[in-house]
Amino acid sequence: MFNYWWLVVAIYLATYFWTRQVFLSSHQITNLMNDSYYRPSMAIYALAVIFLIYLICIAQKVFNMNHCLKSIHFLAFYAYRAFLANVFWDRILWKFFNFQNLAHFNIYLGVFGTWICTWILSYLSVYLIHQIWLKIHPLMKKVI
């Protein structure tokens, strides 16, 4: 599998540009009623992303890239929680902070800005909630 990394990257890029048209052709980028994730192109895209992550893991093992492992473990620890917070922050940014108007002005700037801000706010909120929980949890054990 590691020898065929170029094939996985090619599949990823092909499905990225294939699915990109779905999102750029719609004026409602974050419409939750749009079931584009059921399309075969999205399934292939998701599998390509999974294989790319797998190849990065293999590359780290083969080339002994332990220096970035600490950062990856930190992000991986909060990844699922941040994924859950992602939709929450996406909706807030899109509706209340008017990223929707920014997307009408410039689609790339709107989508990229929403993505970056959502990513940062998701991880930040999850990290802060976890730190608060670590402080409160021992106090709750003493009370109970």
| Gyration radius (Cα) of the chain, Å | 19
Ranked by mean pLDDT, the top range of 41-55, 69-83, 124-138 is: 124-138
Percent of residues, the chain, with pLDDT higher than 90: 15
How is residue 36 written in tokens?
């584009």
- Tens-place pLDDT, residues 83-105: 888 888 988 888 888 888 888 88
Residues 6+ apart with CB under 8 A from 117: 89, 93, 99
Hey, what are 90's tokens? 């996406």
**Dihedral, CA of residue 26, residue 121, residue 78 and residue 108, to nearest 10:** 30
35 confidence band (pLDDT: 50, 70, 90): low
